[in-house]
Structure 1
Amino acid sequence: MSMSDPSAADLTVVIVDDHSIFRSGLRADLADGIRVLGEAATVDEAIALVVATQPRVVLLDVHLPGGAGGGGAEVIRRSAAQAPNTRFLALSVSDAADDVVTVIRSGARGYITKSASGADVSDAARRVADGDAVFSPRLAGFVLDAFGAVSGETAEASDELDRLSAREQEVMRLIARGYAYKEVAASLFISVKTVETHVSSVLRKLQLSSRHELTAWALERKLL
């Protein structure tokens, strides 16, 4: 376990992974303004480090040695109460449904695969710190299934959707599933600026304030 001096100006993170090469590579690839307070390689080390440093975000591997064998999910369960302002972003080579669901049920606010770039991880960490839920697009379905989302629209949801144009509904569903703006733009063949405009309009019409609230809204109405 390693630690460094705090800086209020930066987004503070802790990296938890049992492979030192991955930790070093991720630390080097994180964007400017994201400062690593420390690294840990086991469940027990991670819990001690999170409690001691109180980072804004923990970049957390799903499979870790130590503890009671619960891996990243155990880190969240055992440290969350002692670090109430810390959020957890799971990073894993696994895209297995069980892994995704277990760590999300434990309290992680996002789950992305280790194939993501340093820029993608940095963006996801900032979004999680801001209160968004962030998932690699192909993993979003696991989360929706796990929390009971099914296709179909209630009468209430239909009325609310009538406020949105067809294009706004397309953008809304992709954003609610965790797609980044650039991924939505590529999927719909529109510019990132146009995506931003649609998202602002959707949030205003639905009287929501963030992507996280939009995801919760869509899940509650079983729109995804």
Structure 2
Amino acid sequence: MTRIPVAVYASDPILEAGVTHQLRLRPEVEMLRPSDEQRAEVSLVVVDRLDDASGQLLRRLQRTSSVRTGLIIGEFEQDALQTTIECGVAAVLRRRDADQDRLVGMITALVRGEGVLPGDMVGRLLDHVGKLQRSVATAGHTLSTLATREAEVLRLIADGFDTREISVKMSYSERTVKNILQEVTSRLQLRNRAHAVGYAMRHGLI
């Protein structure tokens, strides 16, 4: 088995020791010393939360290294998403979920060129991308247009599913489903979800 060279960067020695200790036990991974970090195929950044210092570290890794970066984080705040996207972070794992198997799964996914995100962060990312798309929409974009996921949410409401059931079916958080509905009703100037479903059906959008 070819071992994957991994460099770990942490905001304090205890965080670094915790991740390093778990990964040293795994034959799939070669833990690198700081002097050997240029051999890394994967960089793991371990922090409590994304602050200015960790943001600078991620930007430095992006500028100076071609390896893929994973972020192991204690608290992923709302405004952290933009920074992780800008810094090219390809995978995020919450520290509370970072057992041996998930750490190795993240590393092997990064080597394969895949991304890893918890389900609720996928919802946030889709929200973020949707906002970006709307901000650069052309002047000919009409209010009656629904994004694919907006149409799917309204279709499920029309079929009698509640917010919790929709979140399970679409692998979103309940908050994300509510945000989608709020966006649709606000953009189309509708009163509530029933009005939104009726509007979409009348205009052939679902």
Residues 1:114 and 2:95 aligned together: yes
Equivalents in 2 of 1:103, 1:72: separation in Å? 10
Segments of structure 1 that go 5 or more residues without pairing to the other structure are 1-7, 40-48, 155-172, 178-224
Residues 1:95 and 2:71 aligned together: no
Q: How does 1:154-193 map to 2 (within 5 A)?
A: none
Shift of 1:12: 1.0
The answer on whether the counterparts of 1:63 and 1:72 sit within 8 Å (CA) in structure 2 is no
Query: Normalization by structure 2: what TM-score?
Result: 0.56
Residues 1:80 and 2:66 aligned together: no
The answer on whether the counterparts of 2:11 and 2:54 sit within 8 Å (CA) in structure 1 is no
Query: Normalization by structure 1: what TM-score?
Result: 0.52
The answer on whether the counterparts of 1:73 and 1:102 sit within 8 Å (CA) in structure 2 is yes
Shift of 1:64: 8.3
Shift of 1:76: 2.7
Shift of 1:62: 4.5
The answer on whether the counterparts of 2:22 and 2:100 sit within 8 Å (CA) in structure 1 is yes
Equivalents in 1 of 2:101, 2:147: separation in Å? 35
The answer on whether the counterparts of 1:13 and 1:56 sit within 8 Å (CA) in structure 2 is yes
Deviations 1:195-222 (A, max 9, x none): xxxxxxxxxxxxxxxxxxxxxxxxxxxx
Deviations 1:26-73 (A, max 9, x none): 12212322111135xxxxxxxxx68x52411111135689xxx73333
Shift of 1:22: 2.3
Structure 1 residues 54 and 144: CA distance shift in structure 2, 3 A: farther
Equivalents in 2 of 1:58, 1:95: separation in Å? 19
Larger Rg: 2
Q: How does 1:9-158 map to 2 (within 5 A)?
A: 9-30=2-23, 31-38=26-33, 52-62=37-47, 70-84=52-66, 86-116=67-97, 117-148=99-130, 152-153=147-148
Shift of 1:148: 2.0
Q: How many residues align?
A: 139
Equivalents in 1 of 2:33, 2:49: separation in Å? 16
Segments of structure 2 that go 5 or more residues without pairing to the other structure are 134-145, 150-169, 173-206
RMSD in angstroms over aligned alpha carbons?
A: 3.4
Alignment match, 2:202? none
Equivalents in 2 of 1:101, 1:82: separation in Å? 20
Equivalents in 2 of 1:63, 1:78: separation in Å? 19
Q: Percent identity?
A: 15
Shift of 1:110: 1.2
The answer on whether the counterparts of 1:101 and 1:142 sit within 8 Å (CA) in structure 2 is no
